[in-house]
Structure 1
Amino acid sequence: MSVNANDFKNALKLWASGVTVVTAQSAQQGPKGMTATSFSSVSMEPPQILVCLNQTTDTGALVLEEQSFAINILSAEQQAVSNEFAGGSNQEQRFANVDWETGLYGAPLLSAALVSIECKLVQQVVAGTHWVVIGEVENVICRTGEPLLYYHGGYRQLAEV
C-alpha cells in the first residue's frame, strides 16, 4: 500500500536540507534558474552530484538541452533569492534581481552564493514527476558565509553549540 501524498509531504518536512538554485543558459533562451532542495553528492572519483528537477520546469528542460548546468548553494542571507527562484517571478525578473556572471561552462553563477558548482550532464533518469540529473563537476567556486537551511516549511540558520 502506498503512502498518501500529504503524509509523504509531512514526513519530508522533517528533513533539514540546504537550498540551491539550479541554473542553465542558452544563446536562444537566455538564463533560467529554479530553487531546488533535492541535491546531493554522488561520487568523489569522478566528482559527481545529483539534483532532482520537476519535468514541467523550463529550467529542467534547458539543463537537458544544453547538457550543462550549475548548482548555486545559497548563503543564509539569500532567503529572498530562494523565494524569487522558487516561482516568485518570471525568469527575466529572477536574473535582473540578482548579481550573476556566466561561468566557464556557460551556466549562470550567482555571485553571492556560498558555493557555485559547474557541471556537465552525464545521466538523467525519469523518476515519477521528476528527472534525477547526475552531473560531473567541472569547476567549483567556494565563498565565505553560512548556508541557508530549509526545515519544516521554513528557513533556518546554523546555531553555534
Structure 2
Amino acid sequence: MAVEANEFKNALQLWASGVTVITTNTERYGTQGMTATSFCSVSLEPPQILVCINENADTGDGIEESRHFAVNILTAEQEEVSNQFAGGASQEERFANVSWENGICGMPILNDCLASLECKVVEKVKAGTHWIMIGEVQDVVCRSGSPLLYFRSAYRGLSE
C-alpha cells in the first residue's frame, strides 16, 4: 500500500536539492524553459543525466520535438530566475530579463548560471505524472559561484 500524498510530500521536503532551469528550442514551439529540482547524474561513461518533467509542462513538448535540452544550474543569486521560470509567466516573459545564448546544440544557455549541460535525449520513460528524460551530455560550461538550494519549500544557500 502506497503512502498518502501529503506524507510523501512532507518527506521529500526534507531533501535539499539544487535548482535548475531546463531549456529547449524548436521551430514549432520556440524558446522554452522551466524550473526543475528533479535532476541528477546517471552515468559517467557515457556522460548521462536525467531530469523529471511533469507531463503537462509545455517545455516537455519542446524537448520531445527537438530531442535536445539544456540543464542550467542556478547560483545563489538567481532566486528570481527560478521564480520566473517556475510558471505563471509566458515563455517569452521567462526569457525577457535573462541573459542567454544558444549552445552548440542550439539550446538556450543561461549566461549567469553556475553550470550548463547541453544534452541529447537518449531515453524518455513515463513514471506516474512525469516523464523521465535521460540525456547524453554533449557540452558543458562551468562558472564560479555558489549553488541555489531548495529545502522545506524555501530557497537556501551554503554557509561557509
Q: TM-score, normalised by structure 1?
A: 0.98
Q: Which residue of 2 aligns with 1:37?
A: 37
The one-letter code sitting in structure 2 at the alignment partner of 1:8 is: F
Q: Which residue of 2 aligns with 1:113?
A: 113
Distance 2:23 2:159 in 1: 29
State how 1:77-92 maps to structure 2 within 5 Å. Answer: 77-92=77-92
Shift of 1:121: 0.2
- Count of residue pairs the alignment pairs up: 160
Q: Counterpart of 1:87 in 2: which secondary structure?
A: coil
Which deviations, in whole Å up to 9, do the C-alpha atoms of 1:119-161 show, x marking residues without a partner?
000000000000000000000000110000000000000011x
Shift of 1:78: 0.2
Distance 1:102 1:36 in 2: 20
- Which stretch shows the higher mean deviation, 26-35 or 146-155? 26-35
Distance 2:113 2:83 in 1: 14
Q: Counterpart of 1:46 in 2: which secondary structure?
A: coil
Matched-pair identity in %: 61
Q: Does structure 1 residue 143 correspond to structure 2 residue 151?
A: no
Q: Counterpart of 2:82 in 1: which secondary structure?
A: helix
Shift of 1:28: 2.8
Q: Which residue of 2 aligns with 1:158?
A: 158
State how 1:118-129 maps to structure 2 within 5 Å. Answer: 118-129=118-129
Give the unaligned 5+ runs of structure 1: none
Shift of 1:27: 2.2
Which deviations, in whole Å up to 9, do the C-alpha atoms of 1:102-122 show, x marking residues without a partner?
111011000111001000000
Give the unaligned 5+ runs of structure 2: none
Shift of 1:13: 0.3
The one-letter code sitting in structure 1 at the alignment partner of 2:97 is: N
Structure 1 residue runs of 4 or more that deviate by more than 3 Å after TM superposition? none
Distance 1:91 1:2 in 2: 36
Q: Which residue of 2 aligns with 1:62?
A: 62
Which deviations, in whole Å up to 9, do the C-alpha atoms of 1:76-114 show, x marking residues without a partner?
000000001001411100011211101110110001110
Q: Counterpart of 2:64 in 1: which secondary structure?
A: helix
Q: Counterpart of 1:135 in 2: which secondary structure?
A: strand
The one-letter code sitting in structure 2 at the alignment partner of 1:85 is: F
Distance 2:28 2:88 in 1: 23
Q: Which residue of 2 aligns with 1:47?
A: 47
Shift of 1:30: 1.4
Distance 2:113 2:31 in 1: 16
The one-letter code sitting in structure 2 at the alignment partner of 1:48 is: Q
Distance 2:29 2:121 in 1: 18
